[in-house]
Amino acid sequence: MRLLGAVLAGGRSSRFGSDKATALLPDGRTLLDHAVTAITPHVEAVVVCGREVQGMTCLTDRPAPDMGPLGGLNAALHHAAEQGFNAVLTTGCDMPVYPSALADALVGDRAAVLKGQQLAGFWPASLAVEMDAHLAEDNNRSIYGWLNRIGARIVDRPDIVLPNINWPDDLDRLRNV
């Protein structure tokens, strides 16, 4: 199975107070750098959705900016379909780790997300047309609405704990580990 990795990085970081994708960890690398590095071993290629990053393949949210994570996912699904990938494995720019156990648990025959971390997901590229229809409808563009629409599998793995950076204190705790 050909997997495309997609780092969803188009958020406004409103809870964080500044652009968290560019926040630095003690090694001098950004959260975004860590997210790209973490997902890379599990996929054939990686794209960044929702922002421009020099030296990376970057996709503009589809069909328009400011659509939340579904805009980035939609761009990744279409890119995957156009480039011959079977599916997309996603992570958020604020998720600096992606253990093998997570990739193994998500990849399957239908869409799946990690319980409590809906940006850690597996999405067949064949969902691109369905995502277009979903985003064209009058809805709140919630990832939960999308998961319900497609009957995504929720992976409940309490043994897989991912740091997720939403507030400056979350980053401080990660820096002090």
* Residues whose CB is less than 8 angstroms from the CB of residue 59 and which lie 6 or more positions away in sequence, other chains included: 6, 47, 48, 49, 50, 72, 75, 76, 79
Q: Is 94 annotated as a binding residue?
A: yes
72, 30 Cβ separation under 8 angstroms: no
Q: Is 147 annotated as a binding residue?
A: no
CA angle 134, 135, 138 (to 5 degrees): 85
Q: Is 28 annotated as a binding residue?
A: no
Q: Is 132 annotated as a binding residue?
A: no
Q: Is 9 annotated as a binding residue?
A: yes
In three-state form (DSSP H/G/I as H, E/B as E, the rest C), the secondary structure along 98-164 is: CCHHHHHHHCCCCCEEECCEEEEEEEEHHHHHHHHHHHHCCCCCCHHHHHHHHCCEEECCCCCCCCC
Which residues are annotated binding-site positions for Mg(2+)? 94
Which residues are annotated binding-site positions for GTP? 8-10, 61, 94
Which residues are annotated binding-site positions? 8-10, 61, 94
